[in-house]
């Protein structure tokens, strides 16, 4: 789900080098950015930056209501930023580094040519 959609249609000839994340279009980047642009969700990401953790652990560590945390976990998971793993009655969440790397690549592409001189305007 999330930013990985449409991967099946990518022609192998134009595929990026192995290891590099697939380039994002504007809509995919926007979805990732929107999912990231929330203080609660950033707390979750930073709590998961050290590795996989279960929900009940996160509720305690972040001091968030269970319903509230579950809502934000769903947003992050739907965006493709988180993966989940069910074990017994617990659910473990972990960061999806591919999504973060893809977004890094998108930002790098923006900054690449932005120092070009002004295009002549209205003269």
Which residues are at the interface with DNA (CB under 7 A)? 34, 38, 40, 54-56, 59, 65-68, 70-75, 84, 88-91, 122
73 binds, among a second copy, DNA, none (CB under 5 to 8 A by kind): DNA
Q: Are 82 and 95 in contact (CB under 8 A)?
A: yes
Residues paired with 93 in a beta bridge: 53, 84
What are the backbone angles phi and psi of residue 25, rounded to the nearest 5°? -90, 175
For residues 57-70, one letter each, b for 16 or more C-beta atoms within 10 angstroms of the residue's C-beta and e for the rest, the string is ebbeebebeeeebe
Count the residues of the shown chain that bind a second copy, applying the rule CB under 8 A: 47
Q: Which one, 15 or 33, has the nearer CB to a second copy?
A: 33
Only one of the segments 9-17, 44-52, 64-72 lies at the binding site for a second copy (rule: CB under 8 A); that segment is: 44-52
Q: Are 35 and 41 in contact (CB under 8 A)?
A: yes
Interface residue list for a second copy (CB under 8 A): 26-27, 29-30, 33-34, 36-39, 42-43, 45-46, 48-54, 56-57, 90, 92, 94-95, 97, 100-101, 103-104, 107-119, 121-122
């Amino acid at each position: 789900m999330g930013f990985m959609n449409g991967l099946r249609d990518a022609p192998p000839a134009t595929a990026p080098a192995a290891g590099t994340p697939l380039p994002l279009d504007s809509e995919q980047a926007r979805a990732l950015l929107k999912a990231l642009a929330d203080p609660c969700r950033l707390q979750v990401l930073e709590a998961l930056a050290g590795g996989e953790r279960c929900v009940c652990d996160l509720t305690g560590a972040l001091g968030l209501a269970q319903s509230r945390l579950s809502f934000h976990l769903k947003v992050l998971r739907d965006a493709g930023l988180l993966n989940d793993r069910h074990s017994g009655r617990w659910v473990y969440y972990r960061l999806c580094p591919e999504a973060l790397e893809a977004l890094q690549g998108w930002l790098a592409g923006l900054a690449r040519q932005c120092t070009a001189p002004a295009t002549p305007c209205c003269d």
